[in-house]
Amino acid sequence: MVTLSIILIILLLFIAGILFIPMRLVINTNKKEYFLSLPGYFRADLIFAGSLVPRLKFRVFFFTFKIEPGNHKKKAIDEKPINKTKKQAIKNPFRLMKKIMRNINIKKLHADIDTGDFPLNAQLIPVTQTINGKNINVNINFENRNNLEFKAVTRIFNILWVSIKHILFNK
């Protein structure tokens, strides 16, 4: 009985950790870093190694998996029987996405943009100056540099809570 209760407590702590630990999304074109992570549990990296087709690298706990597109064998497609049951669609999916986006905290957004068109660059400077704030810095340059550094944080619990509220109360 004691062993079962210890296992249940460990399982509940594990699930609570997954739900409440901040999930990070990092996009940095200077360092060529693109990843989504749940520290201590999961990390997914997008790796561009000399080719245009990216490789995916997943780390779940201590195990690492690599997926390289184009190296998979194609399986024969079996015909599946058609289900007569209708799936219920989520009403107002764009409203749900808007609510989820509100729960994502942007920790850092730094962008250096050059459109290659001098008059357009000059017209965009006042627009970018109004966007700039504490965590957001958008610059227009005339030096043919395009860089993006983006860091965002959210919790899985927040996304689940918003989704459940949307499904239950928007009928």
pTM: 0.75
Same-domain check for residues 170 and 94? yes
Same-domain check for residues 109 and 163? yes
Q: Based on the number of CB atoms within 10 Å of its own CB, is 23 exposed (0-12), middle (13-18) or buried (19 or more)?
A: buried
Residue 50 forms part of a structural domain:
yes
Residue 104's pLDDT is what?
92
Same-domain check for residues 64 and 103? no
Same-domain check for residues 170 and 104? yes
Same-domain check for residues 97 and 62? no
Residue 78's pLDDT is what?
62
Q: Given a cut of 70, is residue 74 above it in pLDDT?
A: no
Residue 162 forms part of a structural domain:
yes
Same-domain check for residues 110 and 156? yes
Same-domain check for residues 98 and 46? no
> Which amino acid is present at 51?
S
Residue-wise pLDDT tens digits, 20-29: 999 999 999 9
Residue-wise pLDDT tens digits, 44-56: 999 887 777 788 9
Same-domain check for residues 42 and 94? no
Name the domain count of the chain. Answer: 2
The range of the structural domain enclosing residue 60 comes to: 21-69
SS3 6: helix
SS3 50: coil
